[in-house]
Amino acid sequence: MKHKIVIFSVLLLSLQVFAENKADNTKINERDRAADQQTADQQTYSKNDMIIIRRIRQEIMKEKDLSTYAQNVKIISVDGVVTLKGPVRSAHEQSRILKYARSVAGVTNVTDEMAIVPAKE
């Protein structure tokens, strides 16, 4: 009986912590609903676009010191024009991802819509 109470208490505490720390992407989601915003569902599946995305993602994933946020940035390629979206932890991460994307797609073919969101302390 004592173990059941402890397990229940731990679960209850975990739910409370989760509820207090859940992400609120409401503003970002509203921005992405605008007609002029690139979203993942607009991604084309042309061979060229898929190669671009794969090459950029491979370069990002080689960097083991990038945050999980940076490693999961959205890469959208439509007719060779790349849009990068999502949070990164620092300007340094942002510039490194931009460097990789520009080296693959070309400097003028990359739009940066990443947001710097430092880790909470």
Structural domains of the chain, with CATH: 28-116 (3.30.300)
- Tell me what the mean pLDDT of segment 88-99 comes to: 97
Burial of residue 25 (number of CB atoms within 10 Å: 0-12, 13-18, 19+) = exposed
Give the tens place of pLDDT for each residue, 45-77.
Answer: 899 999 999 999 999 999 999 999 999 999 999
pLDDT of res. 88: 96
pLDDT of res. 84: 96
pLDDT of res. 119: 84
> Are 70 and 60 spatial neighbours (Cβ–Cβ below 8 Å)?
yes
- Tell me what the mean pLDDT of segment 99-104 comes to: 97
Strand-by-strand arrangement of the 110-116 sheet? 74-78, 81-88, 110-116
pTM of the model: 0.69
Phi, psi for residue 77 in degrees, rounded to 5: -125, 125
Average pLDDT, the chain: 81
